[in-house]
Structure 1
């Protein structure tokens, strides 16, 4: 089959959609991606890219169609809106050109923002093909959280308009693949009646390992090393770890591998509390280097703020942690914590409760090495049984082909 993938983010940005597309190509399918100029997470265009430099037209067999966007910059609200809107609007001007390629279906990688559904739905309608949506963040709930707006009580005009806008976009899809089981109930509450199917994030296999940089990294030998990997944003609230560092002293050391809008806040908070030496920051690293850094850790950290929509989510990095056979410190509520408990692959603490996090870290630091290894083994086993990459890609292909057949039969 021939697919048009709509995703605002793609290689060289660190998102799983790249791996999905490349695996589909390896299995004999033709895949093109409609995406933006890469500028995440730093907010600046990557080297070699710009409004008049769109980079390579193909990567590992996947065709790439770049859309000019206003870069995200430092992540202020205005720049975020302009970045999202510019992708949604400018993508519409590519529909005519791409419509000549004879695609069988659209596959939309729908993390935040929801606005990428505007060009995806328009393209699917124009070409009379199905749009299959992989839903990772449910809107407008996720948007309201990011804006600090409580989604409780009577909904005013703005909230009603946001719900109506998102409901209409979702209802124009043919199938919504939900990354968390709780999403279906939320969609139904909104009035979304499209067929849904459970499609969790799979355990992404590590790229060919490059451990050189990780091996050279100097970490305190006397400390218990806890690693965090990925986006350092509002939802992760990593500044809460500062209170733990004040209590633990040199017994605990944090390895922060990643970047994001809240990274500087974490550094400033740690410095103000005289615990900056309890942290090592590497910045963003290449995918093939990640496993090398994970190996340097005694445990890995999975934080997420307490919010109704976040509690429905199983963060994609959990599967990465579990596949790496490392014990997990889960500082979150809901679906993610349930997986860690069910798999017996670590310890859990209530989201936002620093005292409970201190208890959990103290607990995991007190167990012997054999028990830590067992936790890691449990995570790997659970991951292979429930989040198999091969099985989930098989399911993705089956679901897309089914929707193509349904659309053709009408």
Structure 2
């Protein structure tokens, strides 16, 4: 199920792709593994640091093949210092330049067009246009549900502007023949707010790349952190991650405990400079270690030396029925998760998988005492939490299972049941 003997051709359109670390890369390569021909139209990699990756540029390295996927890159204005102005230019530049590439794709044969949509929603415009002209089915794979993801970060008070952005966003979604949301809450809003028929929607969790399912060791990393209690964060450093909660909790933990803790930060993003300054202001330099942006192949090596992993998220109605991708990538590591978030993510950690301790979003004291509780727990107890999360992951979120569901819905036109997973 989910494999093919015919060489169906799939076009994926989205601003972000390898070497940027987004899940769509693994999906595209998974489709190639299953026998499909895949081409990607994407931007020039510069996320999250804001400068082009080595070897890439405005007019450099525009076409390449990686693991069987044909990649065409359009110029885009990099995010630079991640100011609102530069991010705005970056948002506009991809769909603008991609529209000029549309004519080059009109003479190619595709069976399906898939729009990979993060922020902003209008990164999907080239996909809409291509599918319309070529009269091919268009499917959306939505990671950021607009306008709600925008409103959760940017406080737009004008009713007129909020209404206009909502209409524009929903117009994009209504162009699709089918739409996948990575949160259960997204799927429900596609139906109730956007007005899309239920059978044209599907919820598929963001399963991490296969590499996260392996356990790796690195002697140098192990030696560096052999005498400390290690809490690992891996991902983008941005406002949604609530590092103010993590740093304030770390300050309380330092005052309440003599345990030598290291918060190992893997990643980069628009809030990194703020975070480094905040760590210095709170005199936490000894406890926070910034390792920078790492390829996904390196992350399991750090998770192997972790005593726990950590995530803290801002309040958002989407999280009531959704689980952040970061949690999925933590679970197969077999380490307990300490978290501050609401909704389904909290229920997963505390009730379903029983793989750590999760308090409410924004609860600084609660997060601090959750960390303290883990430091005081026996290694056997922590290992039991971690293994519970790992086994739950393989039962409900494993990559091949979710890839098959993706194929059945977007390519084979099968309307499949929604994922249910409350049991352990």
When normalised by structure 1's length, the TM-score is: 0.93
1:159 and 2:158 are equivalent in the alignment: no
Instruction: Name the residue aligned to 1:265.
Output: 274
CA 235–217 in structure 1, closer or farther in 2 if over 3 Å, else same? farther
Instruction: Name the residue aligned to 2:3.
Output: none
Distance apart, 1:309 and its partner CA: 2.8
Within a 5 Å distance, the mapping from 1:2-401 to structure 2 comes to 2-149=9-156, 156-194=159-197, 195-206=200-211, 211-212=217-218, 215=221, 218-219=224-225, 221=227, 223-249=228-254, 250-251=258-259, 252-341=261-350, 342-401=352-411
CA 191–11 in structure 1, closer or farther in 2 if over 3 Å, else same? closer
Q: Give the match's secondary structure for 1:240.
A: helix
* In structure 1, C-alpha distance between the alignment counterparts of 2:271 and 2:155, rounded to whole Å: 15
Instruction: Name the residue aligned to 1:408.
Output: none
* In structure 2, C-alpha distance between the alignment counterparts of 1:214 and 1:110, rounded to whole Å: 38
Distance apart, 1:42 and its partner CA: 0.4
* In structure 1, C-alpha distance between the alignment counterparts of 2:319 and 2:93, rounded to whole Å: 27
Q: Give the match's secondary structure for 2:72.
A: strand
* In structure 2, C-alpha distance between the alignment counterparts of 1:375 and 1:316, rounded to whole Å: 19
Q: Give the match's secondary structure for 2:107.
A: helix
Moved more, 169-178 or 113-122: 113-122
Q: Give the match's secondary structure for 1:302.
A: strand
When normalised by structure 2's length, the TM-score is: 0.90
Distance apart, 1:352 and its partner CA: 0.5
CA contact (8 A) 2:215 2:333 kept: no
Name stretches of at least 5 consecutive residues in structure 2 with no aligned partner.
1-7, 416-424
**Could you give the per-residue CA deviations for residues 272-324 of structure 1, whole angstroms, max 9, x where no partner exists?**
12111111110011211110011111000021111223444311121111111
Q: Give the match's secondary structure for 2:211.
A: coil
CA contact (8 A) 1:6 1:107 kept: yes
Distance apart, 1:220 and its partner CA: 6.7
Moved more, 141-150 or 352-361: 141-150
**Could you give the per-residue CA deviations for residues 231-282 of structure 1, whole angstroms, max 9, x where no partner exists?**
0110002132222222222523211111111111111111112111111110
Q: Give the alignment's Cα RMSD to 1 decimal.
A: 2.0
CA 291–64 in structure 1, closer or farther in 2 if over 3 Å, else same? same
* In structure 1, C-alpha distance between the alignment counterparts of 2:84 and 2:412, rounded to whole Å: 40
Distance apart, 1:93 and its partner CA: 1.3
Q: Give the match's secondary structure for 2:279.
A: helix
Distance apart, 1:141 and its partner CA: 1.0
CA contact (8 A) 1:232 1:262 kept: yes
CA contact (8 A) 2:182 2:204 kept: yes
Distance apart, 1:87 and its partner CA: 0.7
Q: Give the match's secondary structure for 1:197.
A: strand
Distance apart, 1:217 and its partner CA: 6.2
* In structure 2, C-alpha distance between the alignment counterparts of 1:220 and 1:398, rounded to whole Å: 46
Q: Give the match's secondary structure for 2:196.
A: coil
**Could you give the per-residue CA deviations for residues 390-409 of structure 1, whole angstroms, max 9, x where no partner exists?**
1111111111223499xxxx
Distance apart, 1:214 and its partner CA: 5.4
Aligned length: 400
* In structure 1, C-alpha distance between the alignment counterparts of 2:311 and 2:409, rounded to whole Å: 30
**Could you give the per-residue CA deviations for residues 177-219 of structure 1, whole angstroms, max 9, x where no partner exists?**
1111111232234333152112111142217887448526623
Name stretches of at least 5 consecutive residues in structure 1 with no aligned partner.
406-410
